[in-house]
Amino acid sequence: MNVNKRLSNHFSAGISYTYAHSIDDGPNPSFVLIPQDSGNFRAEKANSADDIRHRFVLNGTLASPTNGNMWLRDYELSTITTLQSPEFFTKFAGFDANEDIFGNNDRVGIEGRNTFRGRNLYTVDLRGSRIFHFREHDSVQLIAEAFNLANHVNIKYFNTVYSSADFCNVTPVPATCGAGPFFFQGSPNPNYGTPRAVFNPRQIQLALKLNF
């Protein structure tokens, strides 16, 4: 869904919202995505790693008049704000839990693919500028831009290696906790669920543009 206001009265804006639901049985063949049961691909059906359920984007530009008071003219302020729902990741046991001599794809307990839900992503980008005219066709434009203005930590990948065949919540943690009374989300791997890679933090840049 898109709603746009074209530039008029020194103001323009746009709002975009996308709802999507992507399901697959394991695209992009690799050692990580080999199914646990190669004879039952149907069991691999799950939310795709590319599944982004909701995405909202707002953009706007506000400009001052280009004539009149020299102290109030030729300014421009614009922004792009993006809000996005979490992506999905697979929980891995971290070793050969089913003893098939291939441990890279073994998952935790009876968990399916992509059952680890990440975090929301949001970012605000802001741009301000002003033009100074010193001849009929010559001008200088001062520009200041800030990306991820709120310095929000947007996580790209999570550590989803659980390091146990099943969910555990006991101390000390045995090699294989098993199900039953120990079927909890507490993890033997202290790094489980922590960020493995993040998007850029706040970045600010200044520029001087000469037009002639």
Instruction: Give the per-residue pLDDT at 179.
Output: 47
Give residue-wise pLDDT tens across range 57-75: 999 999 999 888 878 889 9
Are 125 and 149 contacting, i.e. CB atoms less than 8 angstroms apart?
Answer: yes
Instruction: Give the per-residue pLDDT at 169.
Output: 61
> Which ranges of 7-130 would DSSP assign to H, the alpha helix?
none
User: Which residue did the predictor score with more confidence, 38 or 154?
Assistant: 154
User: Which residue did the predictor score with more confidence, 141 or 38?
Assistant: 141
Contacts of residue 183, defined as CB under 8 A and 6 or more positions apart, other chains included, come to: 109, 166, 167
Are 206 and 143 contacting, i.e. CB atoms less than 8 angstroms apart?
Answer: yes
Residue 27 confidence class, pLDDT cut points 50, 70, 90 = low
Average pLDDT, integer, range 78-105: 87
Using only C-alpha atoms, the chain has a radius of gyration, in whole angstroms, of: 25
Give residue-wise pLDDT tens across range 164-197: 877 776 555 455 565 444 445 566 788 888 999 9
User: Which residue did the predictor score with more confidence, 211 or 105?
Assistant: 211
Closest to 65 in 3D by CA, of 52, 76, 54, 55: 76
Residue 13: is its pLDDT beyond 80? yes
Are 142 and 130 contacting, i.e. CB atoms less than 8 angstroms apart?
Answer: yes
Average pLDDT, integer, range 149-159: 95
Residue 31: is its pLDDT beyond 50? no
CA 94 from centre of chain: 24
- For the full predicted model, state whether its pTM sits above 0.85: no
User: Which residue did the predictor score with more confidence, 25 or 129?
Assistant: 129
Classify the C-alpha dihedral 45-46-50-55 as positive or negative. positive
CA 118 from centre of chain: 9
Please tell me what DSSP assigns to residue 92: B
- Which amino acid would we find at residue 175? A
User: Which residue did the predictor score with more confidence, 192 or 121?
Assistant: 121
Q: Which two tokens stand for residue 99?
A: 């003893």
For strands 11-19 and 54-63, give the pairing: antiparallel
Please tell me what DSSP assigns to residue 73: S
Closest to 98 in 3D by CA, of 156, 142, 36: 36
CA torsion angle 108 114 119 123 (round to 10): 150
Average pLDDT, integer, range 78-102: 89
Residue 44 has φ and ψ, to the nearest 5°, of -85, -5
Are 168 and 188 contacting, i.e. CB atoms less than 8 angstroms apart?
Answer: yes
Residue 203: is its pLDDT beyond 90? yes
